[in-house]
A = this chain, B = another copy of it.
Amino acid sequence: MQLTDLNTPALLLDQKRMQQNIAQMSEKISGLSCKLRPHLKTCKSAAVARHIQKPGTGGVTVSTLQEAEYFAEAGYTDILYAVSMVPQKLGRAKLLQDAGIRLTFILDTMAAAVLMSTKAEELGTVFPCLIEIDSDGKRAGLKPEDSLLMDIAHFLKSAPGTTLEGVMTHAGGSYYCQGKAELKVMAEQERSAITTAAQKIKAAGLPCPVVSLGSTPTALFAETLEGVTEVRAGVFVFHDLVMQALGVCDFNDIALSVLTTVISHNASENRLLIDAGSLALSSDPGKENPAGQKHFGLACDPVTCEPIEGLWVTSTNQEHGLISLDQTSWSFEDFPIGSLLRIFPNHACMTAAAYSEYQVTNDSAQITDQWGRCNRW
């Protein structure tokens, strides 16, 4: 099948680039004597996941129970649910336990720990838990120095219904770093926070077998992972324009793109219109382009996947993408109505979520396969 056989917009996945990205991350993490626990919230696809880690060969990370159920069905038996768990969801989670899945939860408040223990008892089970640590102030977790850390650790260890498995953190602040030096500093900040927390727990004579951290930028820029047992990362599989702008990848590492058709030429405003809008690309604003402009993607050649200089998606509506030709050397003749473009997305996780499947492409931009996704909750 050819690109021209697809209805647009369509989600394209360059399999070779994806495999190169996976190999790069795998080598990086094993080179630092650590294990990868891939975050599957980006791909949400068993076909993609198999290329990262075969079922039964190691742990994975998810962000919804829907993903946990889907990847359990696909043969993954060691699953970390990396969003704070609440009691209402534990009944559904218990069904996975009953099916033989080792499902580990995270939490960062005493209230959640107490609710977890109580609900586990009610369900007649025990839930393994990690305590979430805050390494960047950006989202969730306890600061390593927070005295609550030890209170919760003691509680999880001693309460019926829970076991203390260790600690985890996610330095999403890495997405705001400027340049490689800052990325290295953030990677070390993440490692330092999580190993400090782990040491406190171990020093108190409590178990802490799992010391888990990760984000794609920190994983790729870590210089040591001493004291860390596993790295979680997800977007590295595809990369995107945010990763490129951060200096984490190059344009030609981006494996995910949206195939779109040029649907109009707006001569009075000097704009191309394409059929990839905010639903097809997502509204994620990503990072400004080198000219300091907000955008929703960068056009590239549909076959070679080479970026097209200056061809940024300058705005979107639900089913319309607008590409200004101002400040470019392009004219309408270069992109006839009905011609195809690929758009590199700002944020791969968000863009992919609008699609039920990947159209897998090879070097010659032939469609070699369709790989399904598990969306929603």
> Could you list which residues of chain A lie within 8 angstroms of chain B, going by C-beta atoms?
4, 7-10, 41, 63-65, 83-89, 92, 107-109, 111-112, 115, 134, 137, 139-143, 146, 148, 172, 261-269, 273, 275, 278-280, 282-285, 317-320, 322, 336-338, 347, 349-350, 353-356, 375-377
Q: Which residues of B contact A322 (CB under 8 A)?
A: 139
Given contacts A264-B84, A338-B87, contact A319 B63 (CB under 8 A): yes
Are A88 and B8 in contact, with the CB atoms below 8 A?
Answer: yes
Q: Which residues of B contact A141 (CB under 8 A)?
A: 266
Are B376 and A356 in contact, with the CB atoms below 8 A?
Answer: yes
Given contacts A354-B353, A376-B354, A377-B7, contact A115 B338 (CB under 8 A): yes
State the Cβ distance, A347 to closest chain B Cβ, in Å.
Answer: 8
State the Cβ distance, A123 to closest chain B Cβ, in Å.
Answer: 15
Are B4 and A88 in contact, with the CB atoms below 8 A?
Answer: yes
State the Cβ distance, A71 to closest chain B Cβ, in Å.
Answer: 15
Are A265 and B63 in contact, with the CB atoms below 8 A?
Answer: no
Q: Which residues of B contact A9 (CB under 8 A)?
A: 377
CA distance in complex: A264, B152 (Å)? 14
Q: Which residues of B contact A265 (CB under 8 A)?
A: 109, 111
Query: Within the complex, which residue of B41, B88, B279 is in contact with A261, where a contact is CB–CB below 8 Å?
Result: B88
State the Cβ distance, A108 to closest chain B Cβ, in Å.
Answer: 6
CA distance in complex: A253, B82 (Å)? 36
Are B285 and A86 in contact, with the CB atoms below 8 A?
Answer: no
Query: Within the complex, which residue of B107, B139, B261, B320 is in contact with A86, where a contact is CB–CB below 8 Å?
Result: B261
